[in-house]
Amino acid sequence: MKTLFLILTILLTFNVNSQSGYKLYSKVWLFDFNSKTSVVQPINGLVSFRYDYLDSVNSKIDTNKIKSYLFESFNEFRNDYGKCSVVEDKQLTIDCQKYSKKLVKKYCHDKITKGAECISMLPIETFTLIKKTDGDFNKLVSECIFDIFVASKAHMSILLDEKYKEFGFGFTLEDSTIHIVIRCK
């Protein structure tokens, strides 16, 4: 039931905020901002993900690999939107990683004193149709960690703002959900 609620929350977020005007550059998902019934869908034209493939996805996820790709994937994400690359602040990353663990129990923004923060949840069901021919599974997951924010104008303004030069990234995988924290200063 918790997983179903999370999926509906993610889909509703995409649907409600679909007027953000940002194109989704994804190798995994498709999202049409012009449709009145927009939802995130698999890029291969199917209309839903395979919830019966969760065990297969869980066996492919390597959190250490995903963490090693996050900084690279974030700069690729920014470059897709014509923004300059940034640097990773290792302390921010440590703080983000710690806070992502807290999101598992209580989903709310932290009380940071400077900079900005983006948080989100990402159900692993959205990775059930990734095939070996699509590329490195864990690299694709690291890219999706940023793609999840595309439907939100507020989040995108933080992630793409040129005034922020240093970023940190953290996530925790718990109960088939990735809890994401991104901070900048």
Decide if 20 contacts 156 (C-beta within 8 A): yes
Domain boundaries, the chain: 2-184
Q: What is the pTM of this model?
A: 0.83
Is the pLDDT at 147 greater than 80, yes or no? Answer: yes
Structure tokens at 170: 């953290």
pLDDT, tens digit (0-9, with 9 covering 90-100), for 98-142? 999 999 998 888 888 789 999 999 999 989 888 888 899 999 999
Separation of alpha carbons 178 and 52, rounded Å: 18
Is the pLDDT at 36 greater than 80, yes or no? Answer: no
Return the CATH number of 2-184, one of 3.40.33.10, 3.40.640.10, 2.60.40.1150, 3.30.750.24: 3.40.33.10
Assign 11 a pLDDT band (cuts: 50, 70, 90).
very low
Q: What is the C-alpha end-to-end distance of the chain, expressed in Å? A: 37
Rama region for 153: left / alpha / beta (φ>0; ψ in -120 to 50; rest) = alpha
* Cβ-Cβ contacts under 8 Å for 103 (sequence gap 6 or more): 119, 121, 172, 179, 181
Average pLDDT over residues 134-157: 93
